[in-house]
Amino acid sequence: MTTEVKPSPRERLLEAAATLTYRDGVSIGVEALCKAAGVSKRSMYQLFESKDELLAASLKERAAAYVVTLLPAADDGRSPRERILHVFEQVESQAGAPEFRGCRYLAVQIELKDQSHPASRVAQQIKANLTAFFRSEAEKGDAGDPDLLARQLSLVFDGASARAGIGVDKLTGLVAPTVTTLLDTAGVR
């Protein structure tokens, strides 16, 4: 007989916050979150100081999976150019899923419109790590201007995921040629 480990109230709240805010936006109410998690409001407020803190924690919780899904493994033997292109192949592949709504860390910042909100700060940090990855690969790949290339790749990443997330572009035949052009111009072969 196997013993199923039931997720804790904390885990269920983090999961509900991540799922529902991604699908419906950050304005989702505390009642809906608690209902989806099967946790009382009283218990929620014992675990999290506020809905804002719950939201921030749910974004942090997803960060590890986000990195694993997007980034290549450290020292996978591929060139910086290939490692950068890998990230965009993942975005293109994710964008094909019907439930894709774009990058959750971009969306949450656009929705909150408050850079000092705890969830915005978590999102900023996670996206800054992505830009730092681009910056580091750009430098290893001898980009003429690694800072510029990192900013360009971050811009393409956000533009692509935003446009696919709202369903106006499927990204096919778009992201790879765009990134390739930027890598070529930067001298990353």
Which chain residues interact with its own copies by CB under 8 A? 23-25, 27, 101-102, 106-107, 109-113, 115, 120, 124, 127-128, 148, 151-152, 154-160, 162-163, 165-169, 173-174, 177-178, 181-182, 184-185
What is the identity of the amino acid at 64?
Answer: A
Nearer to its own copies, 37 or 156 (CB): 156
Distance of closest approach, residue 46 Cβ to its own copies, in angstroms: 26
DSSP state at residue 168 = S
Distance of closest approach, residue 76 Cβ to its own copies, in angstroms: 27
3-state SS string for 82-115 = HHHHHHHHHHHHHHCCCCCCCCHHHHHHHHHCCC
Nearer to its own copies, 49 or 145 (CB): 145
Nearer to its own copies, 22 or 48 (CB): 22
Task: Identify the CA nearest to 104 among candidates 141, 130, 136.
Answer: 130
